[in-house]
Copies of this chain bind each other. A is one copy, B any other.
Amino acid sequence: MPDMRSEMVQMGQQAREASTVLARSSTDLKNRALTAMADALVARQDWLIRQNAEDLAAARGQGLSKAMLDRLTLTEAAIGGIARGLREVACLPDPAGKITSMWRRPNGLLVGRMRIPLGVIGIIYESRPNVTADAAALCLKSGNAVILRGGSEAIHSNLAIGGILRGVLKDLSLPEAAIQIVPTTDREAVYEMLQLEEFIDVIIPRGGEELIRAVVRDSRIPVIKHYKGVCHVFVDQSADETMAVRICLNAKVQRPGVCNAMETLLVHEAVAPSFLPKVGGELKKAGVVLRGCERTRAILPEAQRAEEEDWSREYLDLILSVRVVDTMDEAIAHIVKYGSLHTEAIVTESYERAQRFLAEVNSSTVLVNASTRFSDGFELGLGAEIGISTTKLHAFGPMGLEELTTSKFIIYGNGQVRS
């Protein structure tokens, strides 16, 4: 596909050039662009909704599920939400240019670390047109150019949103190539995009595990991976059982289809006889199906038998694996063996065991006495979330604006040379 290749190379080159301009743009100018983009999206919402209608008509023709159609649909309310999101990003602190530390060397050199944009970000995502504006805003705010490739079902909506955002860039004399939408639904374009290691610094896929594995397989560019969330709650021997029931219920049923919902409950044997019936009753009322180990089923006979593969399953549904463990060490060993390094919580009244769980469990988010559902960029106070990383390099866990930057060393001297 030489034509597709050269088209993508051109997008990459333009993004790289735009990134050097963006890196020097003031926070004030970037914020004005974000606010103007919010205004422009609202001002042109009728046109946006008409463009979106083309996607919706095609999607209905292809028989997409109601859930997918919902995610694809742009209403006045949805566009208002997107615009609010852009205004919120304008209010966040600019991560670029921040000096995170500075120290004096014995020879008088003053050495500091300054955060700078990564450069060019590639985002590959499924059929949610709001991601187009959200991701573009976070990249712009952090001084990065972005190339966006959304799901083919949303192509008209994405191009329409991109056109409006680029119009604002042009009005403010910022480079339009700072925000580029891949203009074709051809899958070959994704492959070619993933070869642009010279022009794109990092790829962030947002979508299911299958999408991410495909991106990792084809990419020559580093990929920030978010595989899955097999999140655990461990109810310790000293847990406040009322609190534990509340946390388990929230972690499982408040929004079961997301990656930070609980998938496996681990219960210390000392509390299993009293706790399991309580939590089991509440979960049953909420419609949750249990898959338990033998000791769980001895206490809750209605639970199904958990198979070996259930322990590593991300149900994203009202199903829960339940295991009784002898010790906290056994709980931690279970998490290491079957977990996905995403989010784990302990419910305990023991100071020592809380501290030990926090220290020893090396998942990206570890909580004491709180629901796993807090593992989220907004809930943790990052102000935004561009994604969640379940691998350790560069970023681990929910990623905010700061994770779209890196650090350079800046050095103030007065003539120093090395001897």
Contacts and interface: CB of A to CB of B under 8 A. Distances in A.
Contact of A417 (B247, B366, B409, B414): B247
Given A23-B362, A109-B374, 18 more contacts: A20-B362, A24-B359, A103-B381, A111-B381, A114-B358, A118-B392, A202-B393, A222-B222, A240-B415, A246-B415, A254-B417, A254-B418, A358-B412, A373-B417, A379-B418, A393-B393, A395-B406, A396-B406
25 contacts: A20-B336, A23-B360, A105-B380, A109-B370, A111-B380, A201-B392, A222-B393, A246-B417, A249-B417, A250-B418, A254-B417, A254-B418, A354-B412, A365-B408, A365-B409, A365-B411, A368-B411, A369-B413, A370-B415, A371-B416, A373-B418, A380-B409, A380-B411, A393-B393, A394-B394
A417 B367 CA distance: 12
Nearest to A357: B410
A408 B400 CA distance: 13
Contact of A406 (B97, B368, B371, B392): B392
A28 to B, nearest CB: 15
A369 B414 CA distance: 5
A243 interface: yes
A410 B366 contact: yes
Contacts of A222: 222, 393
Complex copy number for this chain: 2
Contacts of A419: 254
A364 interface: yes
A51 B409 CA distance: 41
Q: Interface residues of A: mostly helix, strand, loop or mixed? A: mixed
Contacts of A417: 246-247, 249-251, 254, 370-371, 373
A85 interface: no
Contacts of A247: 415, 417
A251 to B, nearest CB: 8
Contact of A418 (B119, B364, B371, B408): B371
Contact of A364 (B202, B250, B409): B409
Contacts of A391: 201
